[in-house]
């Protein structure tokens, strides 16, 4: 099992997670990230660090990797 952990900033972020074929692209985090070769039960964890964050995940991503989203509370 592989795990990728990404964190937002203390400022309001708009984080998007999309799938293009078998590639996962994450934008809106300090370092834009692409993931290839993933399979369930690999994990992508995104932690929003500031108030006002928005996280949008393309439903197609669910077939490629397990998502864990931790919104700022």
Q: What percent of the chain has pLDDT over 70?
A: 97
Question: Does residue 38 register a pLDDT over 90?
Answer: yes
For the chain, how big is the Rg over CA atoms in Å? 12
DSSP letter assigned to residue 55: E
Q: Which 3 state secondary structure label does DSSP give 63? A: helix
pLDDT band at 50 (very low <50, low <70, confident <90, very high): confident
C-alpha span between 9 and 42 (Å, rounded): 24
Q: What pLDDT does residue 73 have?
A: 57
pLDDT band at 55 (very low <50, low <70, confident <90, very high): very high
Q: Chain centroid to CA 60: how far?
A: 13
């Amino acid at each position: 099992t592989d795990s990728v952990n990404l964190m937002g900033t203390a400022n309001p972020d708009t984080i998007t997670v999309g799938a293009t074929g078998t590639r996962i692209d994450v934008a809106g985090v300090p370092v834009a990230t692409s993931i290839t070769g993933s399979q369930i039960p690999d994990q992508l964890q995104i932690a929003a660090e500031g108030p006002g964050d928005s996280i949008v995940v393309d439903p197609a991503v669910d077939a490629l990797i397990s998502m864990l989203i931790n919104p700022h509370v």
